[in-house]
Structure 1
Amino acid sequence: MLTTQIHGVIFDMDGVLIDSEPAWQTAEHLVMTELGVPLSFEDTEQTTGLRIDQVVHYWYARHPWCSANDYDNLAVANKIVSQVVNEISAQGQPMAGVIEALNACQQLGLKIGLATSSSSAIITAVMNKLNIADYFEARCSAEHLSYGKPHPEVYLNCANALGLAPSNCLAVEDSFNGLIAARAATMQTVIIPAPNQATQARWAAAHHQLKDLTQLAGLLEQFRE
């Protein structure tokens, strides 16, 4: 029996609601390699969950010789975001169990929020593609915050927008950076890692680990018992 009272569920977006990580990886790899940053597809996993300006800075900080000429973080970030928006709008697919999980939250009377590192343009693209905007009482982006994930600010802002104490919220994440942010916000946490990362020891930092969102309804029922 779980004694923590959960009154709201706050979802990360990329990799939790929509299968956008391949789009992010493709865009990140394409743009950065065009600019001379020696990046592999496997390398892009290191920046999962970070805000786009942090992603660009992360790679240029590790390859400073690439930023010697005309380095423009905003321009590079916007180019990556534009490619991701186009990819999502064209062929974005929901992660397994998204609608089932959102309906379960509603049926249990839980408030639903979104806390993402992605920009408002990507949020809009995802909401429209999946037709899920009406489920969310609060949608918060770290786009214009001083710090993105793993800083907890975007999660704290979302809890506040829902009118809930952070400790009464359950955060659903797929990345380690997001998990750190939710834990720092004092929330209960669910991690749903990519299948090829599911056995990594670092996920022990989460309160709960699920295979996908089809299992969320069962977990939420435990909080109600």
Structure 2
Amino acid sequence: MSLKAVLFDMDGVIVDTEPLHRKAYFKTFNELEIEVSEDLYTSFTGASTKRVCETLINEFNLSHTHEGIAGIKRTYFKDYFYNDEDFDLIPGVRKLIEHYHENGIKLILASSATMTTINMVFEKFGLAKYFSGKISGADLKESKPHPEVFLLAAEMAGEPVENCMVIEDSTNGILAAHRAHIFCAAYKSEHSKNQDYTLANIVVSDYSELELDKISNYFK
């Protein structure tokens, strides 16, 4: 058992797009002239855009289609994605990605985000050269906490699960890694709220703690 592949989640691990989604949604609510409370917005966490839009249509009796609302939101999101000055990679993650890459570890992205968003992130931050594969959970039948996305990622890396490690930041992602029987490192940032790290094998709040010499004991 030795570490050969690292399977990265994207949102909350490589970038934090949540503030951008939030700004884009609230701009959309303004345009639709609806008042969305914090409680209602919080209830959307982890839901697909389609489900959010359907909820808004029912809740506020809107005449729009869910595609129509999603289109408005997507336009605002793209604008923030390329122009928001606060939007950047999560501190320390580029160094960690380069560290694994230089040491011959295969990197696979296994995210619930759409492939469009994944490609936007890879392009904006020049990450493609480090990763040998990427999977969008949006293209799969089952989403996290189902283990499918990580099992496929291990297969894509051409490695048995015991030679892989998942880096995750959410309860559902950690559970998915656990169900796939893959060693899971949970990244806990100051933005992580109400996530359950119980099933993670290790919890770190600084990516330097995941450098190979620091985790070698786990992969003997």
1:14 is the counterpart of 2:8 = no
- Rounded Cα–Cα distance in structure 2 between residues aligned with 1:71 and 1:147: 28
Looking at structure 1, the residues matched to 41 and 208 of structure 2 have their Cα atoms a distance apart, in angstroms, of 27
Would the aligned equivalents of 2:186 and 2:197 in 1 still touch at CA under 8 Å? yes
2:132 aligned partner, one-letter code: E
TM-score by length of 2: 0.81
RMSD: 2.9
State yes or no: 1:38 paired with 2:36. Answer: yes
Q: How far did residue 45 of structure 1 move? A: 5.2
**1:47–1:89 Cα change, 3 Å:** same
| Cα distance, 1:99 vs structure 2 | 1.6
1:113 partner SS: strand
2:90 is equivalent to residue 101 of structure 1: no
Aligned to 1:25: 22
Rounded to whole Å, the distance in 1 between the matches of 2:40 and 2:207 is 26
Quote how far apart the aligned CAs of 1:33 are.
7.0
For 1:94 and 1:189, how far apart are their aligned partners in 2? 21
1:153 equivalent in structure 2: 148
Residues 88 and 201 of structure 1: is their aligned pair in 2 closer, same or farther, counting only changes over 3 Å?
A: closer
Shift of 1:211: 0.5
Shift of 1:78: 4.3
Structure 2: any 5+ residue segments left out of the alignment? none
1:89 aligns with 2:91: no
Q: What displacement does 1:213 show? A: 2.1
Q: What do residues 81-118 of structure 1 show as CA deviations (whole Å, max 9, x unaligned)?
A: 44333322223301011121112212332110101111
Aligned partners of 1:67, 1:152: CA distance in 2, in Å?
A: 36
Distance 1:214 1:158, change over 3 A: same
1:43 deviation in Å? 5.7
Instruction: Give the structure 1 partner of residue 59 of structure 2.
Output: 66
What secondary structure sits across from 2:143 in the alignment? coil
Q: Distance in 2 between matches of 1:134 and 1:19?
A: 21
Spell out the pairing of 1:158-169 with structure 2 (5 A cutoff).
Answer: 158-169=153-164
1:48: Cα distance to partner?
4.6
Matching residue's letter, 2:201: H
Over alpha carbons, which structure has the higher Rg?
2
Q: Secondary structure at the match of 1:177?
A: helix
> Which runs of no fewer than 5 residues in structure 1 stay unpaired?
none
For residues 28-71 of structure 1, what are the alpha-carbon distances to aligned partners after superposition, in whole Å with 9 as ceiling and x for unaligned? Answer: 3443576547341x7655555554445556xx2xx784275446
SS at structure 1 position matched to 2:197: helix
Shift of 1:120: 1.7
Output the CA distance in 1 between the equivalents of 2:141 and 2:100: 31
1:210 equivalent in alignment to 2:207:
no
CA contact (8 A) 2:169 2:192 kept: no
Aligned partners of 1:51 and 1:142 also within 8 Å: no
